[in-house]
Amino acid sequence: MTLKFHTPLPPLGHLVSLFTYYKGYQPGHRIDRFLPDGNVELVIDLTDFPKQVYDNETLAVRHSFRRAWISGLRKEFISIHAGQDAEMFVITFQKGAARAITGMPLTELTEQVVEGDLVFGPPILALREALLEAVSPETKMRAAERRLLAMAGGDLQPNPFVQYAVNQILLHPGQLSLEALSNKVGYSQKHLIQLFKEHVGLPPKAFLRIIRFQRAIAEIEQRGGIEWSHLALDCGYYDQAHFIRDFKRFSGFTPEEYLRRKNGVVNYVPVG
Amino acid sequence: MTLKFHTPLPPLGHLVSLFTYYKGYQPGHRIDRFLPDGNVELVIDLTDFPKQVYDNETLAVRHSFRRAWISGLRKEFISIHAGQDAEMFVITFQKGAARAITGMPLTELTEQVVEGDLVFGPPILALREALLEAVSPETKMRAAERRLLAMAGGDLQPNPFVQYAVNQILLHPGQLSLEALSNKVGYSQKHLIQLFKEHVGLPPKAFLRIIRFQRAIAEIEQRGGIEWSHLALDCGYYDQAHFIRDFKRFSGFTPEEYLRRKNGVVNYVPVG
DNA sequence: TCCGGGTGGGATTGTAAAAAATTTACCTCA
DNA sequence: TGAGGTAAATTTTTTACAATCCCACCCGGA
């Protein structure tokens, strides 16, 4: 299996946090539950086989995507193709920065997976072609950098107010009042929420809950023996009862169940 | 109001942790709820007015005691005379050490208040007379020391195994397994429990829960703004829900209610 | 269009309680 | 002292409810 990562430098690095390329991953299962991770991703499938999104309960096929698609912010998990026989190039955007490339309010992508050409038009297929032509993972990364810079046009600066708000949330998930935040940003609470939604795709509090959940997920990965009540408080939950409730809302699993079922890949849990 | 404390030195200090003398305390209420504090106390009333124990719910008089009584370990609060017009001398025993003075298994005093002469016979009245004759608080303290040493006979060493167990519980309320404890002590679990009950009055785990509760009470006194879930974890509770449940079992109040009703004297809450 | 204000429903928080599943403590009886 | 049964505590999960906060919707002014 090939698995390569690349972190673009600025100015593209302001918009894109990570490129991931993989090929030949052969998991022992067909379907993954993909947890809300607070990221917007542009996925380019370098094979010709469509990839499915399944119904969370029945695991029946719901949607099918080919070549390129973009997945917006989600508050719910989705059930997706686990990646057998796949060759994928995944572009993960910086949080709150995707708008400069998508050119549309991020709310329009929220809770959705959307065909790439509906968002980007023909340039996305050109990007895919370029990726197919590039032979090594490294040249693919460079091709992607070039094409994305072109697609972004001149506008490579994410909105600084939103950026500040996003960073505050990333720094202090847990205790953070929207009132304090909007005061610091200098906009009215209502305006900040509008701005935030437009650039991030979710209102600030909802985004914060996802970040808090992700912090819990990260702690679970790192810690050995886990005491849920300590972990809950450390991650900013009021107590472990609330932690478990949130955990289940976002992941569909209770924490113990998640521990039992998770395998190596964070945010992807085998379900079928 | 007069209020004097005295901490006896060894060897009596092995058995007695504190003398308290007070006179002229005039609280604004009639009845106190006395919370379980893990202590055995010998109370000597230097007035002739009997002091009542009330029904916890109806506050009707349940028992009445005169001159001297001893109060064993309790898992439940009791409702007692708040101390108006009282002149009292209170002897607080070291935890797990009262047996050398009472001469009887502490289980026989558990959840009870017992007349002093039933336990100690005539010497307790002699002690009281001596306290009445002594004019200053300081001379009373010295008189009490002399009499108690005499009452203890030669046997001033508490059982070291029980003492060790008690200290372990005092040091680590929260995470402490009886199995580990009895292994360290070197007795079988069963034997340790028997010994512990005989000297302390309650089985180890029940005693531990009271100590843990007392730690919470102490933290509440010290901290300013209180976050229950942090306090609960710091005191060794599994989470704040369990803290609240235990708190209510022992005090009859929810933590917030306790905060509202408590006044200056720790472990005594006005109820009537 | 950009920004702020008002209103009201809904979600989150803080506090409390409790159910379900294990594990541990304790008691009895031999 | 030992074995084994029962009660109780712990761990994990769920639920309730009031107070507060968030934010969707609708409006108005610049």
Asked whether residue A230's C-beta has any atom of DNA/RNA strand C within 7 A, the reply is no
Q: Please state, rounded to an integer, the average pLDDT across all residues of chain B.
A: 92
Interval A117-155: pLDDT, tens: 999 999 999 999 999 999 999 999 999 999 999 888 777
Range of the domain at A236: 160-257
Element of type H or E holding B27: none
Provide, as residue numbers in chain A, all residues whose Cβ is less than 8 Å from the Cβ of B238: 229
pLDDT for the residue A146? 94
Q: Does residue A186 share a domain with residue A142?
A: no
Report CB contact under 8 Å: B230, A233. yes
Q: Given CA atoms B64, B69, B72, B76 in this order, what sign does their dihedral have?
A: positive
Distance from CA of B224 to the nearest CA of A (A): 18
Interface check for A239 against chain B (CB to CB < 8 A): the answer is: yes
Which parts of chain A register pLDDT below 70? none
Is the pLDDT assigned to residue B179 strictly greater than 80? no
pLDDT for the residue B161: 87
- Decide if A229 touches B, using CB distance below 8 A: yes
> pLDDT tens-digit profile of A28-56?
999 999 999 999 999 999 999 999 999 99
**With 0-12 CB in 10 A as exposed, 13-18 as middle and 19+ as buried, what is A193?**
middle
Identify whether residues A94 and A198 lie together within a single domain.
no
Q: Which strand D bases fall within 7 angstroms of a protein CB?
A: 1-4, 9-16, 21-26
Inside any domain, residue B173 = yes
From the CA of A227 to the C1' of D15: give the distance in Å: 22
B6, pLDDT greater than 90: yes
Single out the residue of B110, B94, B92, B96 nearest to residue B165, CA to CA.
B96
B143 and B58 belong to one structural domain: yes
Number of domains in chain B: 2
The spacing between the Cα labelled CA in A188 and the C1' in D27, in angstroms, equals 16
Contacts of A217 (CB under 8 A, 6+ apart): A35, A266, A267
- Same domain for B15 and B93, yes or no, is yes
Does residue B159 register a pLDDT over 90? no
**CATH number of the domain bearing residue B217:** 1.10.10.60
Q: Are residues B146 and B166 in the same domain?
A: no
Residue B256 has pLDDT above 90, yes or no: yes
Contacts A230 to B, Cβ<8 Å = 233
Instruction: Give a three-class secondary structure readout of chain A.
Output: CEEEEECCCCCHHHCEEEEEEEECCCCCCCEEEECCCCCCEEEEECCCCCEEEECCCCCCEEEEECCEEEECCCCCCEEEECCCCCEEEEEEECCCCCHHHHCCCHHHHCCCEEEHHHHHCHHHHHHHHHHHHCCCHHHHHHHHHHHHHHHHCCCCCCCHHHHHHHHHHHHCCCCCCHHHHHHHHCCCHHHHHHHHHHHHCCCHHHHHHHHHHHHHHHHHHHCCCCCHHHHHHHCCCCCHHHHHHHHHHHHCCCHHHHHHHCCCCCCEEECC
**What's the mean pLDDT when you consider all of chain A?**
93
The confidence score (pLDDT) of residue B191 equals 86
Residues 218-247 of B with CB under 7 A from strand D: 238-239, 241-242, 246
A53 and A182 housed in the same domain = no
B241 touches chain A (CB under 8 A): yes
Of the candidates B132, B152, B172, which is a domain's last residue?
B152
In a domain, B271, yes or no: no
Which of the listed residues A113, A136, A152 is the one where a domain comes to its end? A152
| B57 inside domain | yes
A244 beta carbon < 7 A from strand D?
yes
Are B233 and A238 inside 8 Å of each other by CB?
Answer: no
User: Which of A100, A117, A152 represents a domain boundary (last residue)?
Assistant: A152
- Shortest alpha-carbon distance between residue A240 and chain B (Å): 7
Q: Which of B1, B181, B195 is nearest to B83 (CA)?
A: B1
